[in-house]
Structure 1
Amino acid sequence: MEKSYVHVYTGNGKGKTTASIGLSIRAALAGKKVFIGQFVKGMEYSELKLVDYLSNIEIQQFGRDCFIYNDPTEEDIEAAKKGLEICKKVLESGKYDLVVLDELNIALYYKLFSIEEAIEIIENRDDSVEVIITGRYAPKEIIALADLVTEMKEIKHYYTEGVEARKGIEF
């Protein structure tokens, strides 16, 4: 059996979710089954339409309409904990070859659940499941758990010039 690995895409630069979506598409086109769980996201991101084109990709969001900008609410915490439980079942099932835990690091940063809970579900996954974890502020425990860590570092970004997020590019 092929060994599975844990990838982490973190840092303050653009491209963490984008990289995970790119790898998800690659895996799906290779015939693999992919699950993408998006923590703290509830908006209509363009990647949600992937399921209309690739039947072996499933996406679920575990957030509310907006990204968290202040202290999380009870609803934010409840949505994240429900998502973590779903992801636990997905990771244990062996039904998927690749599981993306999008913005897991942000959920940890906002303490929507504990680092120990997150590590436990990743360590107890089916041996064949490759995992991608995205989000800024990857805690040292997640970095230690990972087999591959990529840091996206912002050098220059058009946001600083007032450019708003654009459909199909940023969302």
Structure 2
Amino acid sequence: MNRKRTTIAYIGIGANLGDARANVDDALARLAALPATTLLLRSSHYRSAPLESSGDDYVNAVACIDTQLAASDLLAALHAIELAHGRERPYRNAPRTLDLDILLYGDELIDLPALRVPHPRMHERAFVLAPLLEIAPGIEVPGRGPAHRLLSAVAGQAISKID
């Protein structure tokens, strides 16, 4: 039997417009429903102040999925979920109803115009690292090292677990 290769990927989830928590929860449900994909783990919800942005506080989470989707197909699926939530991109770092980012895709390094993995700024964001470490305590970010060391470098960023 020829079985397709699967990849463990980590998805960053955030929202600060509308019912942000409900949007994050719906995104998790939609991730679980993606074809050839299994939702393995999800972090708690976290609250963080906007970083390089404005508006209300964000609700953030990280999901771990096992997927047969290629990275580019996964990105297209994430964009479709964002669009279903009315995501607009009027300017860089604008407040958003939903933001989904591929943080890690296996141990792959991807550098394409539309997709860079590991996510190029994940090591600078406590709202990514804290929930990621909750579900993957020993994880390393390719090219950056252990995530727990990266989190200590952004310890000044306000973030709190809300469940």
Q: TM-score, normalised by structure 2?
A: 0.31
- Higher percent of residues as strand: 2
Q: TM-score, normalised by structure 1?
A: 0.30
- Higher percent of residues as helix: 1
Higher RCO (CA 8 Å, separation ≥ 6 residues): 1
